[in-house]
Amino acid sequence: MTSLDQPDIVPSLGQRVHAALRDRKETLAVAESATGGLVGSRITDVPGASDVFDRGVVAYSYDAKRDLLAVDREALDEHGAVSEPVARQMAKGVRDTADATWGLATTGIAGPSGGTDEKPVGTVFVGVAYAGEWGSGDSYAVVKRHEFEGDRTELKDEFATQAMRDVLGETGE
């Protein structure tokens, strides 16, 4: 078999996240709600993940979001767990508690129930927070809302995949 006969090897999203972070000597911490640890699992599937991956926090309940990620009660009361403000606070909270370069957060509705007209089943908010150098003013957090269709397992997979794409977009890959 010649090299032309071999299929192209396409790196997984986890490998791409790992390479992007490793190349810049950056680190990542994730805060997951709807994905239940799936993002962290995919990243740690890559050999050498400990070079770039600090931690994963699965914060499913309101209390866990407040206790582990410093999400404030007002954001949860006013907007609900599946919202832009909560995703932003989750991403910043995990970034800061881990002292990581990047914080990545997912919060969504995987169903089959729990959706509303405003936030149907399949809605996810992905937060990405960057820690700039102290005093630089370069730190920021962005949140994107996405909607997908499928059953609970398919939605969790879509949410995790999108979160990894979103962090790659922010890391410049």
Structure tokens at 17: 């996240």
Sorted by sequence, the CB contacts under 8 Å of residue 56 that are 6+ apart come out as: 29, 30, 31, 32, 37, 39, 40, 43, 44
The per-residue pLDDT for range 27-47, each reduced to its tens digit, is 999 999 999 999 999 999 999
Q: Whole-model pTM?
A: 0.92
**pLDDT score of 64 more than 70:** yes
**pLDDT score of 9 more than 90:** no
Structure tokens at 66: 């407040």
User: How would CATH label the architecture of 17-167?
Assistant: Alpha-Beta Complex (3.90)
